[in-house]
Amino acid sequence: MKRNSTTLRLAAVAAASALVLAACGSDDSGDDNNDESEAPAAAAKGDGTFTVGSLLPATGSLAFLGPPEFAGVDLAVADINAAGGVLGKDAVHVRGDSGDADNGIAPAETDKLLEKKSDVIVGAAASGVSLTVIDKIMSAGAVMFSPANTSTSFDEGDYAEPDNYFRTAPSDILQGAVLANLLLQDGRSNVAIMARQDAYGETLASEVSKNLENAGSAVAATVFYGEKAQSYDSQVSEIAGAGADSLVLIGFEETTTIIPQLVQAGAGPKDLPTYFVDGNTSDYSKDGTTSLPAGMLAGTKGTIPGADSGEEFKKRLATVDPNLKDYSYSAESYDAVIVSALAAIAAENDNGDAIAKEIPGVTKDGTECTTFEECAGLLAEGEDIDYNGISGPIELGETGSPTAASIGIYEYDAQNKISPVDYIAGEI
């Protein structure tokens, strides 16, 4: 399998504006009004202990993402403490379960993390879940730093200005463009889309459709199903009768129910080339968290945000979770913690509001460094730093989202295991 990183070329997909997200907000500190009352208040002093709360899926439809994300946080905290901690003290990690939109446990779990004085909450994985707790976390003066949110909602509307929300995963503007480009490269000209009817599914379906249509390709059908759907019969029938030459399935764990139904309808991956996204590009082999009959997914492709984290990082993850089998968003979780810790050092304060002000700056425009120990050493010497992480360059913009990132393209073998075939770099 090829493991090189190439730069995305989207001339055949859409106008250049499809991959350029204008910066929201301004660096201007005012409008020529120098009244001192307009100056922002200084952040309160923290309690002296850098505390990371993880709001990640131990249960629910994205539970397969929990182990690698928790492992990424655990490894980052271990590396931080091995290098001397933050502001002279060991970092602390407290765990919470984000669950999913169905079980609705995230708000109560968030309260527990805040009660334990979390300065930074890493999570949630699902965009829909994050939207249920983002205001609670930010109003408490803590940082919310998601390793896996991809919805464009976090760069729009009420969240278009700088605040305490950040993410290491790129928005679906990039994943939608990469997936559309992959479909075009594979010669797909009449694509059907079946997606969850939630913030994640609707946004990604829209981005894929937009890029396909801008390139002159047709969308045969776009079919949505409810988050709590008990049956997919009508949606599967519509896909089977759409006359499409390929299918993009945007879902979570319900994929293990939908794919066999598509097979029965003559629209399975062997009949209709199928493409997954990060929410369902999991290990479906007999060794996976959930499985499908061997061979059912052979040749199916999928996209997952993130660069190639490398075998060395996977070996280090095994030191905190020797049973780890999936690595999705582990690097993004690791980097969210490292960036936050470096921001606390730059601020000389573990308070969430103070950390938030320094987070974008430690990811760009300074001396490049790649480990917590190296970067912390530079900060101690008074240097401005640019942390380049395991997940990629990061380069956080004013809205807290990456302005440059990579998307991995994966393919399933005859055992329903995935392997990367390429990494596409792009700017948002």
**For position 287, what pLDDT does the model report?**
82
Helix locations, 306-428, DSSP H: 310-317, 330-347, 352-358, 372-380
| Rounded mean pLDDT, 355-384 | 97
Using the predicted structure, report yes or no on whether residue 227 has a pLDDT greater than 90: no
Using the predicted structure, report yes or no on whether residue 8 has a pLDDT greater than 70: no
Specify whether the backbone of 401 is left (phi greater than 0), alpha (psi in -120 to 50) or beta.
beta
pTM of the predicted structure, to 2 decimals: 0.81
* Alpha carbon distances (Å) from 155 to 123, 126, 294, 403: 17, 16, 40, 11
Domains of the chain: 48-170+311-398 (3.40.50.2300), 172-307+406-427 (3.40.50.2300)
**For position 36, what pLDDT does the model report?**
41
Most confident residue range from 33-47, 83-97, 321-335: 83-97
The Cα 102–Cα 104 span in angstroms is 6
Using the predicted structure, report yes or no on whether residue 16 has a pLDDT greater than 70: no
Answer with the residue of higher pLDDT: 231 or 49: 49
Using the predicted structure, report yes or no on whether residue 17 has a pLDDT greater than 70: no
Using one digit for the tens of pLDDT, what is the confidence trace for 379-417? 999 999 999 999 988 999 989 999 988 899 999 999 999
**For position 229, what pLDDT does the model report?**
86
**For position 386, what pLDDT does the model report?**
97
**For position 35, what pLDDT does the model report?**
42
**For position 43, what pLDDT does the model report?**
75
Work out the pLDDT band at 308, boundaries 50, 70, 90.
Answer: confident
**For position 188, what pLDDT does the model report?**
97
Average pLDDT, the chain: 89
**For position 41, what pLDDT does the model report?**
61
Answer with the residue of higher pLDDT: 149 or 288: 149
Using the predicted structure, report yes or no on whether residue 28 has a pLDDT greater than 80: no
Most confident residue range from 68-82, 219-233, 307-321, 404-418: 68-82
Using the predicted structure, report yes or no on whether residue 316 has a pLDDT greater than 80: yes
Q: Which two tokens stand for residue 11?
A: 């001339």
Weakest mean pLDDT among 37-41, 186-190, 357-361, 366-370: 37-41
Using the predicted structure, report yes or no on whether residue 24 has a pLDDT greater than 70: no
* Alpha carbon distances (Å) from 17 to 31, 305, 423: 29, 20, 21
Backbone angles phi, psi at 289, to 5 degrees: -65, -40
Is the Cα torsion angle 421, 169, 280, 123 positive or negative in sign? positive
Weakest mean pLDDT among 35-44, 134-143, 306-315, 347-356: 35-44
Using one digit for the tens of pLDDT, what is the confidence trace for 167-208? 999 989 999 999 999 999 999 999 999 999 988 899 999 999
**For position 344, what pLDDT does the model report?**
98
Work out the pLDDT band at 309, boundaries 50, 70, 90.
Answer: confident
**For position 22, what pLDDT does the model report?**
28
* Alpha carbon distances (Å) from 239 to 105, 248, 298, 402: 33, 10, 20, 34
Weakest mean pLDDT among 208-222, 223-237, 340-354: 223-237
Using one digit for the tens of pLDDT, what is the confidence trace for 273-301? 999 999 999 999 988 778 899 999 999 99
Task: Decide: residue 12, CB within 10 A, 0-12 exposed, 13-18 middle, 19+ buried.
Answer: middle
Q: How much of the chain, in percent, has pLDDT values that exceed 70?
A: 90
Q: Which two tokens stand for residue 315?
A: 């070996």
